[in-house]
């Protein structure tokens, strides 16, 4: 490990000098050592060097942050929101598009995120991933093995392109070919953040708008009451589908959501 770290330090120094030829040779030597079983001591850095041929820490920042979040919330749910825009241009004078949103959930374990040495993939090892039928439903279902494989193993390039990417909608200034797709992938980890996502998503608002509403609860008590019912139902539905005990202290409602119970409508109808 110490020798590899020295080689990496030399490679970084060469990068600053602009000596591309010697830098490439040195990186190839580092990759050879990693393939033989040596390690830098950092799984994400190993992965980036092996599959991207780069020592650029910016290329592994997202994976490092994601791995840290999963490890910090072992035993808690996490969800992945897989969003795709598919354009249908049937008439040159129109701009029609469909937004497709798939949401699946699982429980975080210590080794949930795995970065193989021999394959350019990002693997989520989840024993029983679940999926809901639409973006607002409280009902989730277990995924078939062949279906689960498709969402728990991402090709590396595909994951890099989608994770954290902004979804660009079709408009008159951004014409695309019929059938072209733009993807984004968001990963929400842990009890508090998942609940916060359900709160925002149940009302179709963003973080800043949510804070504004929470800042003046009496003025917004009617929508906040609806938010409480919807977000709580989605959260409890996720726990049930993942076979997690709702009475477990790790899965209690966050303080922001608990405070909204007093605005809950006395009569409520919810259609799924």
Instruction: Name the band, by pLDDT with cuts 50, 70 and 90, for residue 272.
Output: very low
**Which residues, other chains included, contact 27 with Cβ-Cβ below 8 Å and sequence gap of 6+?**
11, 49, 53, 54, 55
The Cα 215–Cα 220 span in angstroms is 9
Neighbours of 188 (CB within 10 A): 20
Q: In this structure, what are the phi and psi dihedrals at residue 18, rounded to the nearest 5 degrees?
A: 80, 15
Residue 271 has pLDDT above 50, yes or no: no
The residue-averaged pLDDT of 137-146 equals: 89
Burial 19-51 (b: 16+ CB within 10 A, else e): eeeebeebbeebeeebeeeeebeebbbbbbbbb
What pLDDT shows up at residue 191? 96
What pLDDT shows up at residue 89? 58
What pLDDT shows up at residue 177? 55
Write out the two tokens for 271.
Answer: 């259609």
Neighbours of 160 (CB within 10 A): 18
Sign of CA dihedral 130, 127, 63, 11: negative
Write out the two tokens for 210.
Answer: 């949510």
The Cα 116–Cα 125 span in angstroms is 12
Residue 174 has pLDDT above 60, yes or no: no
Percent of the chain past pLDDT 90, that is, above it, reads: 42
Q: Using one digit for the tens of pLDDT, what is the confidence trace for 175-226?
A: 555 555 677 899 999 999 999 999 998 888 888 898 999 999 999 999 999 9
Write out the two tokens for 245.
Answer: 């005990």
212 burial type by CB count under 10 A (0-12 exposed, 13-18 middle, 19+ buried): exposed
**Which residues, other chains included, contact 133 with Cβ-Cβ below 8 Å and sequence gap of 6+?**
139, 141
Has this prediction a pTM greater than 0.85?
no
Q: Using one digit for the tens of pLDDT, what is the confidence trace for 50-97?
A: 888 777 766 677 899 999 999 999 999 999 998 877 666 555 555 556
**Which residues, other chains included, contact 232 with Cβ-Cβ below 8 Å and sequence gap of 6+?**
253, 257
- Top pLDDT among 125 and 161 is at 125
Q: In this structure, what are the phi and psi dihedrals at residue 165, rounded to the nearest 5 degrees?
A: -80, 150
pLDDT, mean over the chain = 83
């Amino acid at each position: 490990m110490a020798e590899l770290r020295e080689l990496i330090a030399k490679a970084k120094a060469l990068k600053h000098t602009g000596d591309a030829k010697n830098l490439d040779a040195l990186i190839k030597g580092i990759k050879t050592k990693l393939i033989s079983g040596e390690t830098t001591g950092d799984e994400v850095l190993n992965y980036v060097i092996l599959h991207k041929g780069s020592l650029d820490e910016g290329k592994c920042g997202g994976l490092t942050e994601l791995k840290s979040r999963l490890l910090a919330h072992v035993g808690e749910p996490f969800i992945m929101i897989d969003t795709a825009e598919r354009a249908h241009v049937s008439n040159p004078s129109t701009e029609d598009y469909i937004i497709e949103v798939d949401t699946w959930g699982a429980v975080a374990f210590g080794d949930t995120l795995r970065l193989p040495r021999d394959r350019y993939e990002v693997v989520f090892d989840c024993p029983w991933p679940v999926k809901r039928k639409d973006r607002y439903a409280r009902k989730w279902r277990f995924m078939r093995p062949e279906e689960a494989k498709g969402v728990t193993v991402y090709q590396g390039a595909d994951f890099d392109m989608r994770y954290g990417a902004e979804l660009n909608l079709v408009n008159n200034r951004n014409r695309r070919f019929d059938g072209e797709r733009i993807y984004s992938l968001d990963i929400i980890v842990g009890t508090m953040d998942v609940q916060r996502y359900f709160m925002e998503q149940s009302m179709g608002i963003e973080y800043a708008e949510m804070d504004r509403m929470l800042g003046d609860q009496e003025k917004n008590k009617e929508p906040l009451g609806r938010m409480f019912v919807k977000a709580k139902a989605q959260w409890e539905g996720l726990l049930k589908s993942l076979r997690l005990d709702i009475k477990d202290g790790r899965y209690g409602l966050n303080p922001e959501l608990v405070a909204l119970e007093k605005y809950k409508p006395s009569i409520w109808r919810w259609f799924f």
